[in-house]
Each structure stands twice: as structure tokens, then as C-alpha cells.
Amino acid sequence: MGEFKRIGILTSGGDCAGLNAVIRAVVCRAVGTYNWEVLGIRQATQGLMSSPPEFMLLDLDKMDRLLTAGGTVLGTTNKGDPFAFPMPDGTVLDRSEDIIAGYRELGLDAIIGIGGDGSLAILRRLALQGNLNLVAIPKTIDNDLGSTEHSIGFDTAVNIATEALDRLHFTAASHSRVMILEVMGRDAGHIAISAGIAGGADVILIPEIPYTIANVCKKIYDRQNQGKNYSLIVVSEAVRTEEGEPVMSTNRLGQCRLGGIGQYLSDKICDCSGAETRVTVLGHTQRGGTPSPLDRLTASAFGVAAVDLIADGKYDQMVSWQNRQVVSVPIADAIAQYRAVDLNGTLVKTARGLGICLGD
């Protein structure tokens, strides 16, 4: 059975559906199979930064109902780079050594970090600096990590966006409107193109493909000429204005976030075609709630595989889904390979083949 280990697990970056399912799988494997101890670190690396470190002992009894629960019981954050950590007095400090000290204080033999590219880059830097035994699990609704076919959270986000399109379809048809759905995804259009195809959109706009309003309006006219008085448009949040300007806003805390391209398109399409338009911004509904069966499955397989990597002493690795199985890849490779929507890939070809307008 091998020697006893105490391992940590943390969730980092934006939450998404399936994080709790990963935690459950890790505990089932580590405690259930190997008889190890699992400490859940609270609030990403901030739990290790605190003195004393903030954690919860994760035993099998605490895993009931976690498979289907949204969010993360450990808490997470997508702000506060520990290498340039904003302190309450306004100064910025390198807190990396505090995190490494937290890992040592808890007596961890290894740590599992669940995150997207940004979080995994930070965790790897910490691991190299402190000689920490790190294993990574990919999660991001944006699905932009190049070295894995699935990242936890993406499938649920696509399901939610598809369901929204299914619902908008009826109102679009009933009111003869152009309905615009703005979805997340950061700089990649994976959610938009996947949900757009699955949800029968007439126009899909993604950051990877430049568009013109004239092309979008032509699609609307063509449909009208075929007796179809409504259209469904899905747009990724990072699509720019026709002039190439990003559409974003800054909140009271000074945080700059993508959003607003749906309203921009609505006004432009109304001006150009005279169509009555409405906008739905799906926002964080894409991240919360019950994970889809595929996300539960991926989370379960990744959790078990990550613990097995630790049992085998294989560190600095990320579990990855490739060719119908879970493999592991060096974290360095995983974070180096960004994946945008492939312009010659199956989804773009499928959309074009179905007659969906991609704006170009």
C-alpha cells in the first residue's frame, strides 16, 4: 500500500461546476484506497499564506452530496498574485515564502492544485521555489488549455449556454426578434461555437474570427427572405467592436472585466437592419450550479489519477484528457500551450457547413 502521506488540495481561480466532484474523487482515492490524510486548503493559496494556515480535514464522511454540488467547499479566488500580493495598507508584497512556510507547517507531502493556466503558472512557480510536490488538475470554463481535451467546467458552461439558446429560440420566433446571447470564455470562443452549434444559432461571433455588421445583417435579411422573421446570435465576451476596440468595464474596485459586446451588437444590428433586438448576458450562471454528467466524469477520473501520480512520486505533472483516456503532461507544457478555436478545425467547418454565419 506504500507509506502514509498527508496531502493538500486547493481550488484556485474562478469557480466552475465540477470542483467539488474533484475534491470528492481525491478524498475517495487518497483516504479510501491509500489511507492517507487530505487537508483542504481554504481560499486557494491564501489558506497557506495565513498564519496559522487555514484548512479543513477532508474525510470520507464529508464527501456526501459533493459530486453534484456547485462551487467549491474550499473557497477560491482569482485575484491576489502571491508574488505581488496587495496588502490592506496599499503596499504590494511578495508573499510566496509565507505560502511555502504554510505547506511545511502543515507537514504536507504533496499538494494537488486545481486551476486554469494563470493559477497553475503561479502554483508551479511556488513549487519550484519551495521544492513542493505539486500535481495539477485543469479546470476552466474557457477550455483554453492546449494540452487537454477536457477541462473541468467547460461542458457544464456549454450546457447552460445551449439551454439558454433553446429558450431564447421561442421568444425570438414568437416576437419576430433578433435575440443576442453573450457568453463567457475570455479570449477563446469555445463556449460560443459549441453552444451555438448545439443550440441552433444563426450567427456565431468568436474572438478568433473578424466580423462585419454588414455580414451579420445580410444573414438576418437572408433568413427574412426565407420567411424566417427571427434570428439567434451568440457572441463571445471578448469579441471586439467592428473597429477592433475591446468592450469592457471597470467596477468600483478597479477590476476590469469583459462584457457589453452583446449590447453593442444589438444597437448596430438594429441601426443597420431595423430588426427588433434583445440581449441576454449569461454571465456567471455558466460557472455555478450542478455539474453536467461529463464534468462529473472528468472530475472523478482526474481526481483519482492525480492521487495515483502522487502515489507514484510523479510531480510537476498535470492530469490531462487525451484520446479517450487520462494521461499526464508536464505542467510547464500544459501552461505553455494556449488553445484558441482552430479556424480549420471541426467546429468551424461544422458551423460553416450548417450555413451558420460566423461574421466573416
Query: Nearer to ligand F6P by C-beta: 237 or 308?
Result: 237
Give min distance, CB of 353 to ligand F6P, in A: 27
In the numeric block, the cell 477563446 is attached to 188
CB of 357 to ligand F6P, least distance (A): 23
Query: Are the C-beta atoms of residues 79 and 91 closer than 8 Å to each other?
Result: no
Question: Toward ligand F6P, which CB reaches closer, 156 or 328?
Answer: 156
Binding string to ligand F6P for residues 57 to 96, with x set by CB under 6 A, is what?
Answer: ---------------------x------------------
- Judged by beta carbon, residue 95 or residue 139, the one nearer ligand F6P is 139
Phi-psi group of 239: left, alpha or beta (phi > 0 → left; psi -120 to 50 → alpha; rest → beta): beta
Give the pairing type, strands 325-330 and 317-322. Answer: antiparallel
Residue 235, SS3 per DSSP: strand
| Helix and strand counts by DSSP (H, E) for the chain | 11, 15
Strand-pairing partners, residue 168, are: none
Q: Candidates 125-133, 135-143, 320-328, 339-347 — which segment interacts with ligand F6P by CB under 6 A? A: 135-143
Nearer to ligand F6P, 80 or 210 (CB): 80
Contact between 141 and ligand F6P (CB under 6 A)?
yes
Q: Residue 316 is placed in which grid cell? A: 510537476
Residue 142 within binding range of ligand F6P, rule CB under 6 A: yes
Secondary structure letter of residue 357 according to DSSP: B
78 alpha-carbon distance from chain centroid: 12
Instruction: Please indicate whether residue 312 is annotated as part of the active site.
Output: no
Instruction: State yes or no: residue 140 binds ligand F6P (CB under 6 A).
Output: yes
Based on the shown chain and the rule CB under 6 A, indicate whether residue 314 belongs to the binding site for ligand F6P.
Answer: no
Among 258, 275, 309, 318, binds ligand F6P (CB under 6 A): 258
DSSP annotation of 292 reads P
Radius of gyration of the chain from Cα atoms? 22
Task: Cell numbers for 348, please give them.
Answer: 468551424
Give the total residue count for the chain: 360
Binding mask 184-203 for ligand F6P (x = CB under 6 A): xxx-----------------
Q: Which of 142, 144, 202, 308 is catalytic?
A: 142
* Binding status of residue 14 toward ligand F6P by CB under 6 A: yes
Nearer to ligand F6P, 284 or 352 (CB): 284
Q: Is residue 152 a contact residue for ligand F6P (CB under 6 A)?
A: no
Task: Pick the stretch among 40-48, 57-65, 93-101, 138-146 that binds ligand F6P (CB under 6 A).
Answer: 138-146
Cα–Cα distances (Å) from 71 to 12, 115, 148, 182, in that order, read 11, 13, 22, 22
Shortest Cβ 289–ligand F6P spacing (Å)? 14
Question: Omega into 207 within 30° of 0, i.e. cis?
Answer: no
The residues in 278-297 that bind ligand F6P, with binding defined as CB under 6 A, are 287
CB atoms within 10 A of CB 109: 17
CA 2 to chain centre: 35
The smaller minimum CB distance to ligand F6P, of residues 232 and 238, is found at 238
Q: Would you say 119 or 317 has its CB closer to ligand F6P?
A: 119
In the numeric block, which cell numbers belong to residue 27?
A: 478524498
* Positions in the binding site for ligand F6P (CB under 6 A): 14, 78, 140-142, 184-186, 237, 257-258, 287
Q: Known catalytic residues?
A: 142
